[in-house]
Amino acid sequence: MARPREFDEEHVLEAVMERFWTAGFERTSAQDLVDATGLGRGSLYAAYASKEGLFEQALLRYRKRARAHVDKLDAEPSAIKALRILMTDVVDADLPRPHPRGCLATNSAIEMAAHNPRIAELVRENFGILRRGIEGTMRRGQATGELSSNRDAAALAMFVFTAIQGLRVMARALKADDRQSLFSVIEQTLLALR
Amino acid sequence: MARPREFDEEHVLEAVMERFWTAGFERTSAQDLVDATGLGRGSLYAAYASKEGLFEQALLRYRKRARAHVDKLDAEPSAIKALRILMTDVVDADLPRPHPRGCLATNSAIEMAAHNPRIAELVRENFGILRRGIEGTMRRGQATGELSSNRDAAALAMFVFTAIQGLRVMARALKADDRQSLFSVIEQTLLALR
DNA sequence: CCGATTATGGAACGATCATTCCAGAGGAGT
DNA sequence: ACTCCTCTGGAATGATCGTTCCATAATCGG
């Protein structure tokens, strides 16, 4: 051991994630990352090897968001209410002004998954966290009688999860005044669970 | 008038669209487009001004796909069957080997919409063609009594359309053996219309 | 058949890209 | 206090980016 690191890894990765999230991988340059983190090029490359390595770290960090969503799901007793809160949160989180940033995992699925197997795997892992959380909520709702028990919980969870991916795409493409139609989609999705 | 064009615009734009579709805007270089079309740089830029101009043309051309989907919807008498065919077609079309390419409009919504208003508008136009087609099918189903008439056809159409966007995201991220789960999502979506 | 005008495509451009290098700085172990 | 070893950050590198230039070719109207 010799000289210790001077930078705060939490802060650096947060800034990196933010940049990749709004601009995407290709539109974010190494210079952008230097500016965003305040580190020198040498330090950045010594610690994370490459731009792709940095992106992987950002995606790993993004898992916390998925886990937070799952925690919030588990905190609400009513399954339907929990799923409504989840989807409303997703729409609200993906639509900040001035530019909607969508979901980092969804964006990465489109932009990177076909070109980088490592990233594709991380995206699927991110997806899995939320999908399994939804499935748990679904089973809970079936146990309490809130949801019909004669339907496949895993299939229903995949259905809701896919709807969320659709909402995230629409959030990135629609104008702000179409926001209301996304909430209508949420209600139609919840209606389908009864 | 002087020397006429030697290249076939149809062929050129088809090749350009194909390239942007699989690789995305940023991962497609001007050199890639020169190679794909067989034209020289000068010819390409004289005809289309810029890489973005070329992308716009590709997206304009892509509308034909959306229109073909709508035509197929209109050809099937049963609304439910028509929508099942549509969604199955979408999943099949988005998942060719070796790399799933998804949907050009969906990919562009994620990659470009926040950065380029012109592209964002073309994406919304593409979306609108299919969404309105679905809405028409929905009304038809209500008229024949196949679908319940006491639900909002526009809201149902938006719901199905958003589900399709979700399917397109999943198609780009999932492994080939998860294909079956996408068909399960299709059935859950159709079930919600009854 | 002859200017006028446009298409052609490869060479050339400056900018920017991701990455590497390196000289200096600074704690850790002895 | 001295020697490692690592961190640091700006300079440098070669590649590639999108775009422009330009000499040549080809077709038009007259």
Contact criterion met (CB < 8 Å) for B189 and A159: yes
The pLDDT of residue B69 is above 90: yes
Q: What is the pLDDT of residues B145-186, one digit of tens each?
A: 999 999 999 999 999 999 999 999 999 998 877 889 999 999
The pLDDT of residue A25 is above 70: yes
User: Which alpha helices (DSSP H) does chain B contain, by range?
Assistant: 9-23, 30-37, 41-48, 51-75, 79-94, 104-111, 117-143, 153-173, 179-191
Q: Please state whether strand D lies within 7 Å of residue B30 at its CB atom.
A: yes
> What is the structure's pLDDT at A1?
62
> What is the structure's pLDDT at A175?
85
How would you write A131-171 as a 3-class SS string?
A: HHHHHHHHHHHHHCCCCCCCCCHHHHHHHHHHHHHHHHHHH
CA of B4 to C1' of D30 (A): 18
Q: What is the pLDDT of residues B82-101, one digit of tens each?
A: 999 999 999 988 776 678 88
The pLDDT of residue A98 is above 90: no
CA of B45 to C1' of C10 (A): 14
Least confident piece of the model among A37-41, A53-57, A156-160, A182-186: A37-41
Give the A:B interface size as CB pairs under 8 Å: 136
Of all nucleotides, the one whose C1′ comes closest to residue B34's CA is: C9
> What is the structure's pLDDT at A6?
78
Q: Please state whether strand D lies within 7 Å of residue A2 at its CB atom.
A: yes
> What is the structure's pLDDT at B1?
62
| Structural domains of chain B sorted by starting position, each given as residue range(s) with its CATH number in brackets | 9-191 (1.10.357.10)
Interface subset of A 119-178, CB within 8 angstroms of B = 120, 123-124, 127, 152, 155-156, 158-159, 161-170, 172-175
Of all nucleotides, the one whose C1′ comes closest to residue A42's CA is: D9
Burial A106-142 (b: 16+ CB within 10 A, else e): bbbbbbbbbebeebbebbbebbebbbebbbbbbbbbb
CA of A43 to C1' of C14 (A): 29
Q: What is the pLDDT of residues A30-78, one digit of tens each?
A: 999 999 999 989 999 999 999 999 999 999 999 999 999 999 999 999 9
